[in-house]
Structure 1
C-alpha cells in the first residue's frame, strides 16, 4: 500500500521557496504549512519575509477529495446563510431540495433549516466546515501568525501542530506542502524527532541569559561538540535550551539521525507518509543580490516602523536580539546603538551568513532534489508524485 505524500520545500532565505510552494499547491491541489520560526509570530511581517495574505473565514469539507471553497478556488462549495457550507455528504440531497417536490419533505425542511432536529449535531457540523485560514494567492497557509511575539514558540510545539495539520490535509484528499527555512523545525516534522522531556531550569536560564551568544556557544562546544556543529550559534534560545538539556540529563542533545543513516524512508523516520524533498538553490551571486534587494524593499515598506510598533506593544529589545538578523540590527538602530547605514550593512551580512548555514545544513540530506529552476522542480514533482 502506497503511503500518502508529503512535499517539503527547502532552500536558503530569499531563494523563492514561498512562491515555489504556491505553484506546487496550485498544480497538485495542495495546502501549505509554513516552517519559519519568525513567521509563526503575529506582527513579524516585513522582516520575516511573510507572504502578504489575508485571514478569511472559508468553508472546509471533511470528506476526502471533496471541494473546498477557499477564495480563488474553481471548486466553490455551496453555502447556507451565515457563511456555512453544505457538507458534501448532503450535496445530492441539496439538489433534490431545489426541485419542486422533495422526496422527503421533512428532511427538506430541516435542510432549509431554521430549526435542526439535533442542534448539537448541527453545531458540530458547522464547526467542522467553517474555519479562519490565512490565504495567499488562493492557497491556505498554516502556522503563520500563530503566536504572541513576546513568548517563545518551541520546536516541539511546532512539530505537534504540523503533524496534526498534515494529517488533516491528507484526510481531505489534498497534498500537504511543508515550506520554510527553519532547519531543525522541518527535520523534527519529517523525521519525527523525539524531544527530551527536560523541564526549564529557571536559575540556569537566568545565569546563561547574562552571557553573550559567543560565550554560550563555547560552553556548548565543551559540553556537547556534536550539537555545537549543527546549532544556530547566534540564537540564544536554542543555545540555552541545548545547554539546559545537557546539564539536566548528563547526556548529549539527541540529534536527528535519518538524513545521515538510512534516508527519509528509513524505519527510524516513523511517519505515516512518503516524503518528496525539493530544494531551490540559486547561485550564491544571484542569492546575495536578492538578499540586498529584498533588504532595501523591506526598509521602503516600513520595517523600522514595524519594529518600533512591536516594541511599543511590549516586545522587548532583548526579544528582538533573539529574533536575530534584520530584527536585531533594526532594534539596535532604534536604540541609537548603530547608524542607519550600519543597520542595513550588518543586516545584509548576517542574512548572507544565515543563508550559508542553511545550505550547509540541508546539503547533508541526500534525499533533497536541488535545482536553481522552480520549473525544473515542478516538472520533477509531476514525475515523482504519480
Structure 2
C-alpha cells in the first residue's frame, strides 16, 4: 500500500488521484469527516479531483470511505478501522494497489499500526459530571487520563470541541477500566509519502480556499443540514467549518466573526496536523516528504522513483 498524507490545503487528493491513475490504484480516504453524506463543501470532498482528464475521455479513479454514513451520527475510529480493512482487502483481492490518502493522522496511524480498539459505550454519569466544563478543563482531564493509559490517541487535532473532548475522556476512561479488547486487525505495511507545503503558501491557500467554499454555498449547506432536523450541537461536534458556520447560522456570531475565527482555527488545525505527522516519525514511521508546489508530473514521478527504490 501507498499512503499519502499531509496538512489541509497541501493538495493530497489530486496527487493521490494522479498516482492512482498512473498505476491503476484505488484510493481509501483517511478523512474523519468526509464519511458523511451531504457534508460536501465544508469537508472539502472536491470529488472532481478524482476525475483525471488526459488525451482520452475523463476517467474517475475509484475511491472508498466517502459518503458512507448519515450526518448526525458519530462515526468513530473503531468503525473506521474496520471499514478501512474491509476496503483494503477488497482492493487487494482484485489485484489493485490501495492508496490511503488523508490528513486525519489518528486514523492513518491506527490502521498502519493495527491499533487494538473496542466500541466504547456512552457513560451518562460521566457525561453529567463533565457537563459545563470548559474545553481547557476537559483537555487537562484528558491529558491526565492519557498519562495513565499511555495512549497516543486523541491528539488536539481531533479534539477541538467540548463534545469531542468529553467523548475522548469517555473512551480513555473505559480503556483504563477494561482489558484489551478481543478484536485485533493486523498492521499494514505501507510506503508513506508526505506532502510538505511551505507555511506561508499553506496559509495563503487556506484563506483562498475558505473564501471559495463560502462563495460555493457552505453556509447554505449548513442551513440545509439544520433544516433536515440535524441538531446544531451535532454539527458543532464535527468541528471547524461546521462548528463556526453553525454558530453563525444560529445567530451566535456575525459573518465577519465567523470568517475570522474559522480562518484562524483552520491555520491552527494544519499546524497540529504537521505536529502529528512529525510525531509519527518519532514513533518509528518513515515518511518520504515531497514539495507540494512541484508540478504534478514531477511529484508522481518522484513517488514512482521511491516505490522502485523500495522494491
Note the C-alpha offset of 1:199: 3.0
Change (3 A) 1:12 1:153: same
Partner of 2:237: 322
1:156 to partner: Cα distance: 0.8
Match of 1:239 in 2: 165
Describe the shift of the 1:347–1:385 C-alpha distance in structure 2 as closer, same or farther (beyond 3 A). same
| Contact preservation (8 Å) 2:72, 2:235 | no
Structure 1 or 2: more helix by fraction:
2
1:26 corresponding residue in structure 2: 21
Contact 2:245 2:258 in 1 (8 A): yes
Quick check: 1:159 aligned with 2:76?
Answer: no
For 1:277 and 1:378, the matched residues in 2 are separated by 14
1:1-386 matches, within 5 Å, as 6-53=1-48, 137-196=59-118, 198-225=120-147, 227=151, 231-232=155-156, 233-250=159-176, 270-271=186-187, 273-366=188-281, 367-372=286-291, 373=294, 374-386=296-308
C-alpha distance after superposition, 1:243-293 (max 9, x if no partner) = 224433546999xxxxxxxxxxxxx9943x531101111100000000000
**Equivalent residue of 1:26, what SS?**
helix
Query: Tell me, what secondary structure is at the counterpart of 1:234?
Result: coil
Query: Is the deviation greater in 330-339 or in 244-253?
Result: 244-253
Whether the aligned pair in 2 keeps the contact of 1:220 and 1:228 (CA below 8 Å) is: no
Aligned-pair Cα RMSD in Å = 3.0
Q: CA 1:357–1:252 in structure 2 vs 1: closer, same or farther (change >3 Å)?
A: farther
Post-superposition Cα deviations, 1:74-108, rounded to whole Å, max 9, x if no partner, equal 99xxxxxxxxxxxxxxxxxxxxxxxxxxxxxxxxx
Residues 271-328 of structure 1 show CA distances to partners (whole Å, capped at 9, x for unaligned) of: 3x53110111110000000000001100110000000000010221111221111211
Deviation of the 1:332 alpha carbon: 1.0
Q: Within 2, Cα distance between the matches of 1:43 and 1:243?
A: 29
For structure 1, the residue ranges without an aligned partner over 5 or more in a row are: 1-5, 55-69, 76-135, 255-267
TM-score (norm 1): 0.69
Does the 8 A contact of 1:196 with 1:245 survive in 2? no
Identify unmatched segments of 5+ residues in structure 2.
Answer: none
| Contact 1:205 1:240 (C-alpha < 8 Å) held by counterparts | yes
| Pair member with larger Rg | 1
Give the TM-score of the pair, scaled to structure 2: 0.85
The answer to whether the 8 A contact 1:8-1:276 is kept is yes
Distance of 1:171 and 1:229 partners within structure 2:
30
Change in Cα spacing, 1:363 to 1:205, as seen in structure 2 (3 Å) is: same
Query: 1:10-43: per-residue Cα shift (whole Å, max 9, x none)?
Result: 0000110110110110111111111111111011
Whole-Å Cα distance in 2 between the matches of residues 253 and 51 of structure 1?
Answer: 41
User: Is contact 2:6–2:274 with CA below 8 Å preserved after alignment?
Assistant: yes
The answer to whether the 8 A contact 1:227-1:253 is kept is no
Q: Would the aligned equivalents of 1:217 and 1:239 in 2 still touch at CA under 8 Å?
A: yes
Secondary structure, aligned partner of 2:279: coil
User: 1:130 maps to what in 2?
Assistant: none
State the alpha-carbon separation in 1 of the partners of residues 53 and 297 from structure 2.
22
CA distance in 2, matches of 1:203, 1:161: 30
